[in-house]
Amino acid sequence: MEMTERYLRQTVLPELGELGQQKIMNAKVLVVGVGGLGSPASIYLTAAGVGTLGLVDDDVVSISNLQRQILYTEEEVGLSKAECATRRLHALNSDVKINTYPFRLTQDNVADIVAHYDLVLDGCDNFATRYLLNDACLEAHKPYVFGAIKGFEGQVSVFSAGDNPRSYRMLYPEDSVVQPTDIRDKGVLGTTPAIVGSVAATEAIKLITGIGEPLIGKLWTIDLRTMESAIYDF
């Protein structure tokens, strides 16, 4: 009865139903980076009832995170993000199994970790990890949900999925990107990751359940200054 009531608002959706909910509860999702993007994404995946959630993050909570990383509190400054996020998400939905990885993904560990999950959601903030995830997911034939933000802008896409899998490298060749170092280039409105992270979580749920048309071969973008959004084929 409790499970039926808990997920009632989504199981009454004809596109989802109880079968779709069962797929969600059987799914295993790896979230890499539980910061601005990973916070809302992991919250909504946990609330939706994803069976197993993996959280990868080697960082600790800082006071400057609290403006946008809604998983954390002032009392947790200096503590491991992955471990704090695990406690918060378990309090939200104790039925979800949460695996905590409080360390950085590397060439040596990425394949082994990705192998345990059905899909990967990217909440990281650096190109090196994205290339690492992209290559590991393509090799393992696991869908890779990508999200990125800057200032008032965001984008989401799905790689390594479908009959004609796309690659992150198709959009961003390795020799074309520059990691920002100036704090002025890292500015972001707190609500930007909330919106983009939620869209990424939606893409994950669509892939799990087979609902709708995931952003495979498509790049969704939004500019919150004008509320203009677009979808580009690639």
pLDDT band at 47 (very low <50, low <70, confident <90, very high): very high
User: Considering the entire predicted model, what is its pTM?
Assistant: 0.94
Q: What is the mean pLDDT of residues 113-137?
A: 96
Mean local confidence (pLDDT), 110-120: 98
Instruction: Assess whether pLDDT exceeds 60 at residue 1.
Output: no
Compute the distance between CA of residue 225 and CA of residue 227 in angstroms, rounded to an integer: 6
pLDDT recorded at residue 131? 96
| Nearest in space to 34 (alpha carbons), one of 96, 84, 91 | 84
Fold classified for 2-233: Rossmann fold (3.40.50)
Q: What is the mean pLDDT of residues 66-85?
A: 98
Predicted confidence (pLDDT) per residue in 148-203, tens digit: 999 999 999 999 999 999 999 999 998 666 666 566 677 999 999 999 999 999 99
Question: Which of 56, 35, 33, 42 is CA-nearest to residue 188?
Answer: 35
* pLDDT attached to residue 178: 62
**Can you tell me which residue has the tokens 């994803």?**
50
DSSP summary character for residue 135: H
Q: Which residue from 135, 110, 133 is spatially nearest to 123, judged by alpha carbons?
A: 133
d(CA 122, CA 30): 8
From CA 113, how far away is CA 164, in angstroms rounded?
A: 24
The percentage of residues in the chain with a pLDDT greater than 90, rounded to a whole number, is: 92
The confidence score (pLDDT) of residue 128 equals 93
Tell me if 111 sits within 8 A of 86, measured CB to CB.
no
pLDDT of the residue at 186: 77
Sketch the domain layout of the chain as residue ranges.
2-233
